[in-house]
Structure 1
């Protein structure tokens, strides 16, 4: 059976979209844009394949669908902006096969104006077709939250913004097959800016509690108890929690390069969050010193090196920088993570602990970076010589908290 949907980019954004489409009975073909780490379990992938999903045998199949969604990653480049090289590659491949009346939707996280100023010319030049007349063009911010079982695609409203009203309606018709609610934005830029606001909102609020964590430690205040009490307020407050850094695929943008006036609060939030791995290492060194040990030569065990609990995804994980800084201090670093069978830092393999409790008992310091559900934190707090909890997940008084 010919596919009705092509998902271009099978990473953390594209695979969940393809999964939702297959579950909705939409014949779906997937096309990889590069070495993309997936966010689905092997069992979920098997269910997708049995439900009719298949990988494209070649780019020709992209020209046989009614809807094509570009989900290529757009990570931060060396200059701090977004690297659109994979989005560009996906657009060129699609444009060469684009047929009239196809609906093309971009879901990659991009800056406002990208769909019209960057993607549209690539599609039009490569296809000879005109957006808004010969094919539909729209943007929809991805709202994938890997590992979150409380919010399914069907129950998550989808925002749509098209080049023209007809483009918006065509994209809305497609997404209405996947979700219970479609929200129409005024246009492309409004839809793109929704993604910008949602991503920056997360980073700014995490930065606030990260700064509070440093302040409260200096004041001798239990921040975790403060948050517990504050979140009982039924209005005007949403609880965010500090951590060793901010990972994930959603990159905060301050837009300094696209306008005369950037988002100063976002720029500051990035500075605060980027300092957290360094702060964790400082706290680790201080704890060791307080217990009569030096960081040089200390055995340090890192627990959980992924960016999110219960996933194998390491995109932007702060564990990388923390390990590097500990090694620079002369510490002997090892790790444990049930989802990561091997791990390298600076092209050097990091020893993996096979027996968690034995490793914690042997280590001079154990640092909980990610709280996977398989971890028995009460048991770990008993076994570990010294435990630093950067997630506030251990029982009160069982460990030193961030």
Structure 2
């Protein structure tokens, strides 16, 4: 890596140059565009980001699970650089190009299930989810969509309706798209009963039967691990039961793997953990190493049902992003980043659980692979504790560790380190976190 893999603080965080740029940002950009940590980045790679003041910070965020293969990954740089010199755009719907087809072939082969598949490419995770719903409604002739508590699916009109959390995603932006129904998620830490998988599934089915009618449901849309909701892994057995119910009732089972995909959880896709095979899978974020790209991959009979011209978009499957995606998939395979994600979990989870024993404010440590979170509560209770979360984040940032928050209750610290992060940086970041709690 051309960038030194070290934490280095030469000013306060943020430093004077970043503060100067922040003032410009406030004059030019709407206040609705928030910033987690206002350091303005000049270089990034491996496990660090460098800012305009010369500080080098440990990156536990990966641009929200985007730079799984690292920032400026060599294969990505090489392929994109060559492509940008050839052409930057034609619109695949006007004059196509091979890289788009190659990405679709790869996703058809790599996503769960050995059935015949089709893939098309769009720009963002929200766009992928919205198109999955379009396909499901067209193919089934039904309208209703079922989603789940704590789910996050995007910021467009339809995906805001699918998203559970009001603030900041939905507040003041309604009315939302109709025919969206919400069911309980089997959230083990907060489920009131003894068997969250069975009980949440039974409640979901009862809601569908009473409020909608299974024969009217086009799609069930769910994240295999709820991302923005707080890295909630549904209780074991919940997802397979849900998928089986969908198959039995002609409902399209849509897996939103926007945040969980591309080796993040220690499998190439999170659905693989329980052998769940979705009818449609939505991917984005980690697909193209930071270039805007997303994909909808589904059963051929569903995808081919839509009339010609019914799907697409001007920029979907941009040639630069397609080359980046091919480089990402090659990097995941050649560097065995699935195993690397598991190794990150093997390092992080024991240290975080040791912190949980020391600090009663940590209510739960959870996650798989390199998608890990801790939920903060009032000691001795399960009452959410967002105030302590914000203090811990502030202290981590001041020490040069970039961390992200999440959670329906604003009390979850989430960790998404690049899968190529050197282990010494991973360990150092955990030490900074422990110091922050102390």
TM-score when normalising by structure 2: 0.32
Q: Which has the higher Rg, Structure 1 or Structure 2?
A: 1
Greater RCO structure (CA 8 Å; 6+ sep): 2
Scaled by the length of structure 1, the TM-score of the pair is: 0.34
